[in-house]
Structure 1
Amino acid sequence: MAKPSRSHDGLQQLLDERNRYEQWIATLESRRESTPEHVFKRVHADYEQRLTGVRQQLTERTGEVRSAISGLKDRLKQASEQEAERVDEMHEAELRSVVGELTPEQWELRKREVEVELTRFADDKKKISEELNQLLLIIEQTTDHETDAEPAAHAPPAPATPSPPPAPIESPPPAAAVPADATRVRSKTPARPRAATHNDSPGPVEPEKPPVPIESLAPDEVAVPPTAEPAKASDQSAPSGPSSVGSAQPRPDAPAAASAKRSKSSGTAQPTDPRRENEKTLKCGECAAMNYPTEWYCESCGGELSAL
């Protein structure tokens, strides 16, 4: 117990001396403007030198204090274990007294002895704890002052102002997303022309209608017949001279058929076949009606075309 106390006293003196020098330096700084510069520097250097010496001694003594703290912790642990053993002995003696092994007088004697030892252990633990707390406080004060004093000398100079963030922060992060969207747009863009091409293809082509008879077509729907047929027909049926008249005489019933056809056409008023009208190239000399080159008699007046 004596050795840790001397260590504690010596450390406490060093701590007090350090605090005194620090206070002197702070007061000296307040008098700097009213003191000659060379005098201020000389006194300030003297106090700084003394403070540095005290700090070095505290650093050297810190190892001793730490060793003393470790020893006090061991002693505190040992005292706690001995106290627990004495408590167990007292409970054991009480149990033996209850079963009759120990007489009441022996039990009372053992109980008083254990109580005295427990009181001593409690006092020792209290003293050890107090001294341990003091040494821990000294270590804490020493460490705090060393941490406050040494960073300026040992720590590398930190930049006064943090450098601005690098250029990558200015680069827009959505740049990577734009190509993805563009890719999706490009991938979708060909689909629309392709679909349009497919729609424009002859999908809805209507089936071909069956040929309509020429007689049922309207005048504006009749296609112009090939020109070769009228010429050919006119070459075949155009009568000239007496030979044509002679060849037409063997048909005595032609006027009756022509008149029947004429009466039928006048009674029913059927529409004239435009194609056939276009092919009527033979003009009747009697009524000036146009007839087909293949007709023998005029459809209007019934006159014989070949004779005309």
Structure 2
Amino acid sequence: MTKAKTNALDALRALIAERQQYEQWMSTLESKRDGIQEHVFEKVYGDYRGRLERVIGEIHGHAEELQLSITALSSRLVEVAREEDVRRDSLQEAELRAAVGEYEPAQWEEMRAEAERELEKVAADRESLDSQLGELRSIQKLGAVGVAARVDRSESAPAEPIATSSDTASTVPESPPSAVAVSPSQSDDSVAAPVAAATASNDSGNAVPAAPSADPGRSSLAQIAPAAQSSPTVGQKSKAARTPAGGLSAVKSKEARAEQAKTLKCPECGTPNYPTEWYCERCGAELATM
């Protein structure tokens, strides 16, 4: 190995040792972080990190030269190993010829001593090259290591909890009940049933007067035209539940009310009702007192 290559190799060794020193300092500094003010820690840590990155940059600058040296040494090692094998074979061949009597004993001893000296020299060269190549490869491996993993000193944000199906169900607002569609064929009893049911739940018996009908002709039309008989609704069932025990005949009379006119007006809202009704079909006011 030339003097220039030796100097370059020595410089590379020094850089690797310096890098390892900075990495050790940074690791020790991290373990001493507790009780140290953050800005002081950041200052010292940043100084070591800057030095480390500078050294790594210089090591990478020698990477190409180092690879060329490894390639050259590898080729030289192959040649020396081949030469060693050739000299070893030559020594065995001379020994065999001497054994059959081709060489005189003195001549054989001289040949053997010379061959062994050359073989030892080649073997020493091979061992030296092998050692140098191993050292260069070790340096290359150490130099290939990147910047030491930086410790993330920032406070990590807490992870948002993953919403489960039960949590999602609890946060979704309940949809309002869908409105029941009223067909045109339903009677006024079906339309006024929810109002009567709401009024019936009032224990005080005081009915809240409803707003007058938006259609003025509806009342007169209801007085003239007989109402079509409709199927029982929830509101009618509520009124039936409030019918006193003595009013069973009034319930039976509903079978014939289709032929009657709504002649009984509510004193509260003025809505016409059948004369057999106990409560106003619109606002739920009591009609039995009339």
TM-score normalised to the size of structure 1? 0.43
Which protein shows a greater Rg?
Answer: 1
Q: Choose between structure 1 and 2 for higher RCO, CA contacts under 8 A separated by at least 6 residues.
A: 2
